A and B are shown apart, each in its own frame.
Chain A
Amino acid sequence: MRIVATIIGIGIAVGLATAGRTQPARAEAKPYGVDLPSNVAHSSAASCSASACHGGGTPGTRGSEHTAWAPELGSVTGSDPHSKAYRVLFNADSVRIAKLLGGGPAHENVLCLKCHAPAGIAEPTARAEGVGCSACHGPSDKWIDSHYLPEWKAKSNREKWNEGFVPTKNLTARISNCATCHVGSADREVNHDLIAAGHPRLAFEYARFHFSGAYRKHWEEKTPQPEFEVRAWLIGQAATARAAVDVLHSRAVRAAENKAPWPEYAGLSCFACHQSVGEKQARGSSGNPGWEVFHTATLDAASAHSHLVLPDVKQPVLVKYGELKKAMAASNPKAAAVATLAAAARAELDGWLAEMQASEEAHPRSPAAAIQAVDATLFLTQSGASASEWDSLAAHYLGVAAMYHASGGAKGRPLSTKPLDAIRGGLKFPATFNSPKGLDAGKLRGEFRNLMNAAIEERSR
């Protein structure tokens, strides 16, 4: 019990300390894996799939990566959904979306190809592969001929990155790269026009995506559970928020030049506005929707937790990020001011990510990961118990669920099972709707309190 009190105490103390400090982020450091070097180019997967390289064997064995990734006729285990990314641009939904947007067919529209077939923009013959190897592993023109040689293997991750290779074993680099499509980046975005035309909204949580049943993986994770999932969630929060800030920065810069709508609705909380008038639980009180709630709701919990999980990581000081959130909570914030704040906030998050990245490299294992998962649950349930929007409740749920899953599920954390089930049930959209009609946020907050009590009990054993 005393340990629990201490942890919660640290959380509060940290929150206070963060609020009080004003000095800028520690370093100008930037992790490798964000902002691709400009002198590298995408190429297609064709040369990766030679049977002697990544195109051999049966899925699950070394050398079978491309085989596992590629769609397989009649396969029960499916394939990697990325391999179908281009194909969906021909379906009825895409046709309607393209018609409503008026920018030509989806499968030829650069806006769509940027994420659905990145290598296919410069090289039309590469479109069919969809999100191919180079989309995640990096443009290969500089390393395709050397990456199997000893001198390549001797290079540091940062050196490899400088040649366009994404060192995906490092979670910071990996998730940052996922986020460039799944959250967005300076030149990739799903804006509200696209969503209104029918594109699904973006709501990215790495740990959830990683363990999705629809995702046939072509690699074996080197980091074992529970540390993998504890870290994946934690780093995922920072990388996701960083990407959200990056998209915001790019939108604000364009808006300041009158080249984009401002504020961009796609960056605001969908269900703050998309609810029927007269619903019992009005969401929010000031009449302004929240900014990137799904992608940032659990960042405070993550920033209070990271130094407890990763050695050599200091508590991040996110002053500019806090100012940015405050600015975005106002009605119609000024684009130019937001652009400046977003650049500063991005630098703070980069500094933090760089530290986590270095710690990952230096300390591949965390002996106390199971306890860390419960500690993360404490931070998450504490802030989940005051969440009001669906996006925030859902983000907190996914965080707690990841920690639950990491530490053994029903066997490892039996006390948490019931309240977690209740939250998942409460977050489900009613039949025929794609929004949380009739959401009972108060009930879900109560379940987060139940989860917190369960975690306190587990922790004091």
Chain B
Amino acid sequence: MTPFDGRLGRGAGLAGAFGGIVFALLASAGASRSAHLVQQDEKYPRVNDLELLGSLSCQTGCHDQATPKMPSPTEGYKFIRLWENVVWDSHDLHSRAFKNIEPAKNTLAKSMEVNLKKGKGDAYKVTEDVKCLACHASVVKPVAAMKPAEWTPKSFVTADGVGCEMCHGHGSAYRPRHDAAKRVADPAPGEPTAVVEWRTLPPAEKTKWGLTDLRSPATATETCASCHIGSQKDGRFVTHEMYAAGHPPLPPLDLMAYSREQPRHWGLPSQMSFIVNLAEKDAKKAFDTFHYRSEKIESSVARRFVESSIAALRSTAALTLQLADEAKPKNDGLDFAAFDCYSCHHDLKYPSDRQARGYDGPPGRPQFRVAPFALARTVVGDEELGKQLDTARRDLAFSFGNRSYGDPEAIGRAVAKVNAWCDAAMTKVRGEKYDTKVAEALLERIKSAAAAETPRPVADPELAQLYLWAITTLSLDKEKDGKLPADVVHLREKLDKTVVTRLRPGLPFDFEVKADAKLDNSQKPVSERIGARMTIFNAFDGKAFRDAFGK
């Protein structure tokens, strides 16, 4: 279907609206198909019926408007950006995810394939390995309908890379519902002439139709974590074998930093007048539906950051537990990928910083990645809860060091404590109001944790980057004309040679990208982009980092 067909489709819809019947305003498919599906209305689809539609279905005539047409009867541009596909297509690395594993198209994939063939035989192809496709392509059915064990290369559509529905949910069921509009019989002046009921349905209802509630910080983090941390349940896990063959390391997951540089193809709730107005009129409904409170009450950015930091720790713990559970019956240990890469992977120096700092438990035992623990502890800020997390963390350190590949039984017990902590922490932060004062205190807490010399200075480059990303995130509310406050800009300039201040170093944009933004460095080969990041990562200097926060 061409964009022209799309416009025709919309024309037909408009005609229908004036007839006073249910219609599909933004439908890219013809009106007849929408009408057919809408008749099933309130019956929930079975999960087995959820299927991938592909990004073409989303973009054609709807989410591909570089300049949204205004006004429109439902005023969709007040609710979403409508240029999502344009930004995704030109800037978002998810759209290149499959190209990145094609040996013919880039050297990194080629060398990985050569390395993996050594263990898997000459017939091995990266592009046909479901373990690679799991995160580099779009799977045709959700995991609930088709288990990873049943996957074949044919279970994936590769054209979009990681397409819209990998984050938003398989679209076959919600696709016809999510844009179905009803004409308002007698609209007030300035109000839209048609409403889309779907918008304000409770998130649980939308989820039943397959749409993922990405406005929820916890759900969004869990969705990203499926690939960016890993989830055995979802068939997604970067093994140590893959890393050893050349897969770039996964940086610690920070929902806000990742989505800043994705870049964001959506508006923050505070930028979408539909959501802002709802919060004014019906605060409870706005929070229940969009996890949003008016900015007069709290910073939605701070809330999203805080909840996602706890959710990221929880996802890390979940993966660890899955790996431990798999290891138990085999009397095996955990894959090295469950450990902190930099416990082992550092060039040796003598005397060493590590020896000066001391170790968690006996020296010389590789540990889990500490960054999400330290961040969550700082973010929650409660001393009592902090001590509980320290206990859980010590138990986990013991369980990782107790045996060389970890002690799965002990890991299971320690992770249960981490999970309980995450629940308690989430309950606590959900009871908070992140008003200006609380958000400011949070920012100060992060700055002082970053600069602290005691009990232990920040020595982990991953934690340094999480702190720096957090400082950027919490300055988002002070952003003016797409520019960060001067002190944050200065801080990043001081550190951008030794700390990964940006996931995509050298990117010409920082926050949200409009459809007409100039092209970024995503066209560069993946090996070059990652190389730039790793050079900075390996140059981490703890003292320079701490000093940067000094007066």
Partners in one complex: yes
- Asked if A264 is at the interface (CB within 8 A of a chain B CB), the reply is yes
Q: Does B530 contact A (CB under 8 A)?
A: yes
Which one of A124-132, A203-211, A429-437 is at the interface?
Answer: A429-437
- CB of B344 within 8 A of CB of A286, answer no
Contacts known (A191-B364, A264-B404, A278-B531); A285 close to B118, Cβ less than 8 A: yes
- Write the B4-31 contact mask toward A (1 if CB under 8 angstroms, else 0): 0000000000000000000000000000
CA distance A101 to B83 in the complex (A): 59
A284 in the interface (beta carbon within 8 A)? yes
Q: Which residues of B contact A285 (CB under 8 A)?
A: 115-116, 118-119, 244-245
What is the CA–CA distance of A191 and B364 in the complex, to the nearest angstrom?
Answer: 9
Q: Could you tell me the distance in whole angstroms from the C-beta of A448 to the nearest C-beta in chain B?
A: 21
**Contact among A194, A270, A332, A432 for B333, CB-based, below 8 A:** A332
- Decide: B342 and A437 in contact? CB cutoff 8 A: no
Quote the shortest CB–CB distance from B192 to chain A (angstroms): 52
Contacts of A331 in B (CB 8 A): 336
- Chain A, 78-107, contact with B by CB distance < 8 Å: what is the 0/1 string? 000000000000000100100011100000
A274 at the interface (CB under 8 A from B): yes
B241, A96: Cβ atoms closer than 8 Å: no
Residues of B near A143 (CB, < 8 A) are: none
Q: B358: CB under 8 A from chain A?
A: yes
Contact across chains for A287 and B243 when beta carbons are under 8 A apart? yes
Tell me whether A193 and B244 are in contact (CB under 8 A).
no
The segment from B156-164, B347-355, B467-475 that touches chain A is B347-355
A15 contacts the other chain (Cβ, under 8 Å)?
no
A193-B362 in contact (CB<8A): yes
A277, B349: Cβ atoms closer than 8 Å: no
Q: Are A198 and B364 in contact (CB under 8 A)?
A: no
User: What sequence of 0s and 1s flags, for each residue 256-280 of chain A, a beta carbon within 8 Å of any chain B beta carbon?
Assistant: 0000011111000010011111100
> Once the chains bind, are B534 and A198 in contact (CB under 8 Å)?
no
| CB neighbours of B351 from chain A (8 A) | 93, 96, 198
Say if the beta carbon of A282 comes within 8 Å of chain B.
yes
Structural contact, A261 and B341, CB atoms closer than 8 A: no
* Given known A-B contacts A100-B358, A261-B365, A278-B538, A287 and B241 have beta carbons under 8 A apart: yes
| Neighbouring A residues of B246 by C-beta, 8 Å | 282
CA A286 to CA B365, docked complex, whole Å: 21
Interface contact A274-B244, CB-CB below 8 Å: no
Contact pick for A101, options B354, B362, B402, CB 8 Å: B362
A276 touches B345 (CB 8 A): yes
> Is A195 in contact with chain B by the CB < 8 A criterion?
yes
Judged by a CB distance under 8 angstroms, whether B478 is at the interface is no
Q: A198-B355, A284-B244, A285-B244 are in contact. Are A275 and B349 (CB under 8 A)?
A: no
Given the known inter-chain contacts A101-B362, A196-B363, A285-B115, please indicate yes or no for A275 contacting B345, CB distance below 8 A: yes
- Cβ < 8 Å to B, chain A residues 50-104: 93, 96, 100-102
B332 sits at the interface (CB 8 A):
yes
Q: Does A14 contact B (CB under 8 A)?
A: no
8 Å CB contact of B364 from A194, A275, A332, A432 = A194
A434 contacts B530, CB within 8 Å? no
Contact A273 B364 (CB under 8 A): no
Query: Chain A residue with minimal CB distance to B363?
Result: A196
Contact B403 A274 (CB under 8 A): no
The verdict on B296 contacting chain A, using a C-beta distance below 8 Å, is no
Q: Is A197 an interface residue (CB 8 A)?
A: yes
Contact (Cβ within 8 A) A261 B538: no
State whether A286 and B244 are in contact (beta carbons under 8 Å apart), knowing that A262-B404, A274-B347, A278-B538 are contacts in the complex: yes
Mark each residue of chain A from 416 to 433: 1 if its CB lies under 8 Å from any CB of chain B, else 0.
000000000000000011
| Chain B contacts with A in 253-295, Cβ cutoff 8 A | none
Cβ-defined contact, B348 with A274, below 8 A: yes
Chain A: how many interface residues by the 8 Å CB criterion? 37
> A365 interface residue, CB < 8 Å from B?
no
Residue A30 lies at the interface, judged by CB distance under 8 Å to chain B: no
Task: Determine whether A192 belongs to the interface, using a CB cutoff of 8 Å to chain B.
Answer: yes
> Please, which residues of chain A bring their CB within 8 A of the CB of B240?
287
A261-B403, A285-B245 as given contacts; A197 in contact with B364, CB under 8 Å: yes
In contact, B350 and A198 (Cβ under 8 angstroms) = yes
**Chain A 158-202 interface mask (CB, 8 Å, partner B; 1/0):** 000000000000000000000000000000000111111110000
Chain A residue nearest to B244 in the complex (CB): A287
**Chain A residues near B245 (CB, 8 Å)?**
282, 285, 287
In the assembled complex, the Cα of A287 lies from the Cα of B239 at a distance in Å of: 9
B88 at the binding interface (Cβ < 8 Å): no
* A287 to B119 alpha-carbon distance, docked (Å): 10
A278 to B401, CA, bound (A): 25
Report A-chain residues with C-beta under 8 Å of the C-beta of B239: 287
- The reply to whether B342 and A193 form a contact with Cβ atoms under 8 Å apart is no
Contacts of B358 in A (CB 8 A): 100
B202-258 residues at the A interface, CB under 8 angstroms: 239-241, 243-246, 248-249
What CA separation (Å) do A194 and B115 show in the bound complex? 33
Tell me if B44 counts as interface (CB < 8 A to partner A).
no
Residues of A within 8 A of B116 (CB): 285
A433 touches B344 (CB 8 A): no
Please tell me if the beta carbons of A197 and B363 are within 8 angstroms of each other in the complex.
Answer: yes
B405 at the interface (CB under 8 A from A): yes
A428 → chain B, closest Cβ, in Å? 14
Question: Taking the complex as formed, is B549 at the interface, i.e. its CB lies under 8 A from any CB of chain A?
Answer: no
Interface residues of A in 106-137 (CB under 8 A from B): none
Shortest CB–CB separation between residue A221 and chain B, in angstroms?
A: 33
B359 at interface, CB cutoff 8 A: yes
**Given A286-B241, A287-B244, also A274-B346 (CB < 8 A):** yes
Of A96, A276, A286, A433, the residue contacting B355 (CB under 8 A) is A96
Q: Which B residues are in CB contact (< 8 Å) with A437?
A: 347
Known: A277-B538, A282-B115, A287-B336. A196 touches B347 (CB 8 A): no
Q: Is the CB of A282 within 8 A of B244?
A: yes
Q: Which residue of B lies closest to A99 (CB)?
A: B358
State in angstroms the CA–CA spacing of A79 and B350 once bound together.
26
B508-534 Cβ-contact flags toward A at 8 Å (1 or 0):
000000000000000000000011001
With contacts A100-B355, A195-B364, A287-B244 taken as known, whether A265 is within 8 angstroms of B350 at the C-beta atoms is no
Q: Which of A102, A197, A332 has the most CB of B within 10 A?
A: A332
Residues of B within 8 A of A270 (CB): 348
Bound-complex Cα distance A265 to B366 (A)? 10
**Known pairs A278-B530, A278-B534, A433-B347; A286 contacts B364 (CB<8 A):** no
Nearest CB of chain B from residue A142's CB, rounded to whole Å = 39
Digit string of B325-338 for contact with A (CB within 8 Å is 1, else 0)? 00000001100100
Chain A residue with minimal CB distance to B527?
Answer: A278
Q: How far is the CA of A133 from the CA of B399 in the complex (A)?
A: 44
A262, B332: Cα distance in complex, Å: 11
CB distance from A99 to the nearest CB of B (A): 8
Q: Which residues of A contact B362 (CB under 8 A)?
A: 101-102, 193
Task: Give the complex CA separation of A270 and B350 in angstroms.
Answer: 14
When distances are taken between beta carbons in the complex, the residues of chain B under 8 Å from A274 are 344-348
The answer, among B332, B349, B354, B537, for a CB contact under 8 Å with A433, is: B349
Q: Which residue of A lies closest to B358 (CB)?
A: A100
Q: Which of B244, B364, B534 contacts A192 (CB 8 A)?
A: B364
For A436, the closest partner residue in chain B by CB is B347
Q: What is the bound-complex CA distance between A275 and B538, given in angstroms?
A: 10
B456 nearest CB across to chain A (Å)? 14
* CB–CB A277/B345 < 8 A: yes
Sample of 13 further A-B pairs with CB below 8 A, known A100-B358, A274-B346, A434-B349? A191-B364, A192-B364, A194-B363, A194-B364, A196-B363, A196-B365, A261-B403, A265-B404, A278-B249, A278-B535, A285-B116, A287-B240, A287-B245
Q: What are 14 contact pairs spanning A and B, CB under 8 A?
A: A96-B351, A100-B355, A100-B363, A193-B363, A194-B363, A195-B364, A196-B364, A196-B365, A198-B350, A265-B364, A278-B535, A278-B537, A284-B244, A287-B336
| Complex A-B, nearest 10 residue pairs according to Cβ-Cβ distance, in ascending order | A196-B364, A287-B244, A278-B534, A196-B363, A273-B344, A435-B348, A192-B364, A434-B348, A193-B364, A287-B241
